[in-house]
Structure 1
Amino acid sequence: MILVTGATGTVGRSLVDRLVAAKVPVRAMTRRPAAAGLPAAVDVVAGDLGDRGSIAAALRGVDRVFLLSTGPDIPTHDANLIREATRADVAHVVKLSSGRTGDDTATDPIPSWHRRGEQALRDSGIPGTILGPLGFMANALHWADSIRNRDSVFAAYGHGRIAVVDEHDIASVAATVLTTDGHDGRTYRLSGPEALTPAEMTAVLADVLGRPLRFLEVEPAAARQAILDHGLSEIMADAIMALRATALESFTSVVHPTVQEVTGVRSTSFREWATRHLADFARV
């Protein structure tokens, strides 16, 4: 039995679907089971990474875990899951981390939070694997509203390049690691096949949509305020802006062949991702 945390998000849901298709027993832990909308074959249980009792209950009968945690509580939530996994004699934990934990100069919040989670896994003695995406193609969905209504993309750090990866490719790597041998102790940096700037991604979206789109670079302060306006905390707004600024460094622009090396299938291009998500950007 594989336990998936974060099972209703983009990566987690894709992973669950892959495991179900492969007829692998899967349990999903979520705060709101009734709203999960997961396949009937999934054992959906209530749980919260901040509640060790609910984690312990979710781990009964589980031998492998996909650990997905977010936000400032990543260190605590990872430690909670790993402690309970140790008690439950879990055989393997796969942690979705940040690709930037491998950059020693990256001292901003998100890689720092994930480093502490990674270290907790290493210290536990449980066989583990770290998956580190450099960036997510799915973050482009944040532009959907302005593309639909204003034919525009507004973003800071317009010259920064990130080798963003498709959420389905991350899930494919996770499914392979969870169901095959030879991955214990490995750290996999994950990227797509090319490093793109926001303007280049906008151009791809315009081509796929068949209509012109404008890219407008905004000041970091304005981008931070937009995050706050969406209801996120100041801690998260600062963390996200620090993350976006690292696109100006070379580390996130490196293309890694890991997706194909692990799964045997080439990584998805941003054009292919955009085509799959066409409806999210199309005018109503």
Structure 2
Amino acid sequence: MILVTGATGTVGRALVDQLVEAGARVRAVSRRPAEAGLPAGVEVVGADLGDPVAVAGAMQGIERVFLLSSGPEIPEHDGILAKAAATAGVTRLVKLSSGRTGDDAATDPIPTWHRAGEQAVEASGVPWTIVRPLGFMSNALHWAGSIRDHDTVYAAFGQGRIAVVDPRDIAAVAAVALLGEGHDGRTYTLSGSQPLSPGEQTEILAEVLGRPLHYVEVSPEQARSAILDHGVPAELADAIMALRATALESFTSVVYPTVQDVTGSAPRTFAQWAADHAAAFGQALPGRTSPVS
């Protein structure tokens, strides 16, 4: 049986679907199991990754684990889960990390948290695989409200480019690592097929949606205020802004062949992702076919 943490999130839910489709037995961890809404046949257990007793209970009978944690508690949560996995005799642990963790110059909070989490996983003695995406295409959903209301994307760091990757492709790499062999001790850095700036993503969204959209660059201070307005704690808001600022560096614009190499399929383009999520931004014009290449 495979344990999936973060199972109701963007990557976790895609992974659960792919594992179920492959015929795997899945146990999903959720803080609110009654609201998980996962496919039939998935065993859902309630547990907080900060609770060693609950995590140990969820680990019983598990052979392989997908670890997804977030926020300042990443080092603590990863350490608790890795220890429980070792005690339970887990044979593989796949951790979702951050692409920036592989940049030695990255000392901002999110890669620092994940670097400590990776170290806990590697020190556990459980065979491990690390998956490091550079950035998520799904982060564009943060613009959905302003696109629906104003046909406008407001984002900082307009000159920065990130080779964003579809969460479904991240999940596909994780699924291969969980289900197959030959992935122990491997670190996979993932990207999409091209680096894109916020303005370039806006242009692609406009083409897919079939209506003009505008990109307006805002200051980092304005962007941070918008994050805080959504109820994000200040510490995490600062960490998010520090990560966004790294789009100005060359590291985030590198295109890696990893998705193709591991899964045998090319990564989805941002246009494909946008077409699949058009409803979130307002549908394309009637009778128009959205591009997917």
Identify whether the pair has TM-score above 0.5, normalized to the shorter chain.
yes
CA distance in 1, matches of 2:161, 2:258: 19
Are the aligned partners of 2:209 and 2:283 in contact in 1 as well (CA < 8 Å)? no
Confirm or deny that 1:279 pairs with 2:279: yes
Specify the alignment match of 1:227 in structure 2.
Answer: 227
- Distance, in Å, in 2 between the alignment partners of 1:150 and 1:113 is 36
* Matched residues, number: 284
Return the offset for 1:283. 6.2
Residue 3 of structure 2 contacts residue 66 of structure 2 at CA under 8 Å; is this kept in 1? yes
Give the distance between the partners of 2:20 and 2:123, measured in 1 at CA. Answer: 31
RMSD of aligned residue pairs (Cα, Å):
0.9
Unpaired segments of 5 or more residues in structure 2? 285-293
SS at match of 1:202: helix
Superposed displacement of residue 122, structure 1 = 1.1
Partner Cα distance (2:123, 2:50) in 1: 20
Counterpart check, 1:178 vs 2:181: no
Give the corresponding residue for 1:211: 211
Amino acid at match of 2:166: D
Q: Is the 8 A contact 1:149 1:283 kept in 2?
A: no
**Where in structure 2 are the equivalents of 1:26-65 lying within 5 Å?**
26-65=26-65
1:91 aligned partner:
91
Q: State the TM-score, normalizing by the size of structure 1.
A: 0.99
Are residues 1:24 and 2:51 paired?
no
Relative to the length of structure 2, the TM-score reads 0.96
1:184 alignment partner, SS class: coil
Q: How far off is 1:123 after superposition?
A: 1.1
Q: What code does the residue aligned with 2:199 have?
A: A
Does residue 142 (structure 1) correspond to residue 134 (structure 2)? The answer is no
Partner residue, 2:115:
115
Write the letter of the residue equivalent to 1:138. Answer: S
Residue of structure 2 equivalent to 1:250: 250
Matched, 1:6 2:27: no
**Partner Cα distance (1:124, 1:55) in 2:** 15
Task: Provide runs of 4+ in structure 1 moved above 6 Å.
Answer: none
Does the CA contact (< 8 Å) of 1:133 and 1:191 recur in 2? yes
SS at match of 2:106: coil
Q: Deviations over 1:114-170 (max 9, x none)?
A: 000000111111100000000000000000000000000000000000000000000
- Secondary structure in 2 aligned to 1:71? coil
Per-residue CA deviation, residues 26-85 of structure 1 (Å, 9 max, x unaligned), is 100101110000011101111110111111111110010000000000000000000111
The 2-side partners of 1:283 and 1:122 are apart by 45
SS, match of residue 69 in structure 1: coil
Distance 2:198 2:115 in 1: 27
- Whole-Å Cα distance in 2 between the matches of residues 127 and 22 of structure 1? 22
Are positions 1:269 and 2:293 aligned together? no
Distance 2:90 2:241 in 1: 36
1:151 aligned residue: 151
SS at match of 1:34: helix
Residue identity in the other structure for 1:184? D
Question: Distance in 2 between the 1:268 and 1:206 partners?
Answer: 18
Counterpart for residue 66 of structure 1? 66
1:231-252: CA deviation from partner (whole Å, max 9, x where unpaired):
0011011000000000000000
Counterpart in the other structure of 2:126: 126
Q: Secondary structure of the equivalent of 1:187?
A: strand
> Quick check: 1:148–1:283 contact (8 Å CA) kept in 2?
no
* 1:162 maps to 2:194: no
